[in-house]
A = this chain, B = another copy of it.
Amino acid sequence: MIEKNLAPPDSAAAVANVTDIRTRRGKLVSSVITLAHGGGGKAMRDLIDDVFIDAFSNPALNTLEDQARFQLSDLAKLGDRLAMTTDSYVIDPIFFPGGDIGKLAICGTVNDLAVGGATPLYLTCAMIIEEGMQVDTLRQIVKSMADTAREAGVTIVTGDTKVVGRGSCDKIFINTAGIGVIHQDYKLGAHQAQAGDHILVNGFLGDHGAAILNARGDMHLTSPIESDCAPLHDLIQTLLKAAPHTRFIRDATRGGIASVLNEIADASKCAIEIHETKTPLRQEVKGFCEILGLDPLYLANEGKLVAVVPAEETDAALTAMRGHALGKDAADIGTVLHDGRPGRVHMQTLFGGKRIVDMLVGEQLPRIC
């Protein structure tokens, strides 16, 4: 329904300058990040030219000025509302099975836009780098960002580079802010969940949280769990076409699906019931959680969404998601109840019991994203 037909942003001058800078200046000499790379002078310019411009190269990347510009009339072709979001990524370790901080920084922000029904378009990229980082490590992260941005159909249009002394940050923190445009047909909101609606997820839960925890620890599982980190914009567009009356979509990141379900119950003043037997969990993740005493409902995901869909569109939604690479294990895990205490989420357990699924209290896992 939505076609991307934006003209290149309004920065012809900047484009010309990219080339000038690239031909005029040499390759970066240092193999290690120094404080000078964040100083606003020649070293920073060289770093940007050599590491960022090469990877992010696109007509929108305005290297000379601190702002990117877009014609509002082009944006209006895609919908009626602009969506804006931001996230900082501080994940530890910065490379993990299934991804790295760069991929995560693109997927997370793309997903935050997409779950609102927006077509993600333009991202900013602001890095805080610890002095002493290898330039090649940074290059690898930036390449991962560029590859993921290409996959997600978004453009990195402006950025910022800060370098702090050794010990003043842990390797690298990345902020991406993003804008997208929401088509006039989509009006999603957690408060719209209604009794009878179904709760869908697009696949196995908790992979990201388990992967990170495993990558940090000493368990060395024989079949290591991979993060599910992925851009969900295309799956979401597929879902919305199949189930145009979808009430709400949310990616289940920090706090897991438990937190998303609680927010939906809270906003809609409804009760929600999910079923343990219908909730897709990989055997490895289940085992991992049992050993460590973790509840997979609270584990972070970076490629999983929760959708609230009216009963009559549930089958179509499931079929559509299962036909997409990122939704082939999609499941209908529960419903919004006609009765029950407003704001309450509970789970029917495997053994026929019922347990309350509350919001996460305390901290399950720091620096998960």
A interface with B by C-beta (< 8 Å): 10, 13, 16-17, 20, 34-36, 38-45, 64-73, 75-76, 79-88, 90, 92, 112-113, 115-116, 118, 122, 124-128, 157-160, 162-165, 167-170, 173, 175, 177, 179, 181-182, 189-191, 250, 253-255, 259, 263, 266-267, 298, 300, 359-367
**When A and B form their complex, which 5 residue pairs have the shortest distance between CB atoms, in order from nearest?**
A40-B254, A41-B360, A177-B177, A40-B255, A86-B124
Looking at the assembled complex, report how far the CB atom of A282 sits from the nearest CB atom of chain B, in whole angstroms.
21
**Pairwise interchain contact B39-A87, C-beta atoms closer than 8 A:** no
Alpha-carbon distance between A168 and B206 when the two chains are bound, in angstroms: 25
Contacts of A113 in B (CB 8 A): 67
User: Which residue on chain B has the smallest CB distance to residue A169?
Assistant: B169
**Pairwise interchain contact B64-A263, C-beta atoms closer than 8 A:** yes
**Pairwise interchain contact B363-A39, C-beta atoms closer than 8 A:** yes
The DSSP consensus for interface residues of chain A is mixed
Looking at the assembled complex, report how far the CB atom of A55 sits from the nearest CB atom of chain B, in whole angstroms.
17
Given contacts A88-B160, A124-B86, A126-B175, contact A36 B80 (CB under 8 A): no
User: Which residue on chain B has the smallest CB distance to residue A269?
Assistant: B20
**Pairwise interchain contact B87-A80, C-beta atoms closer than 8 A:** no
Looking at the assembled complex, report how far the CB atom of A247 sits from the nearest CB atom of chain B, in whole angstroms.
11
**Pairwise interchain contact B158-A84, C-beta atoms closer than 8 A:** yes
**Which residue, of A38, A41, A365, A367, has the highest number of chain B Cβ atoms within 10 A?**
A41
Alpha-carbon distance between A314 and B323 when the two chains are bound, in angstroms: 64
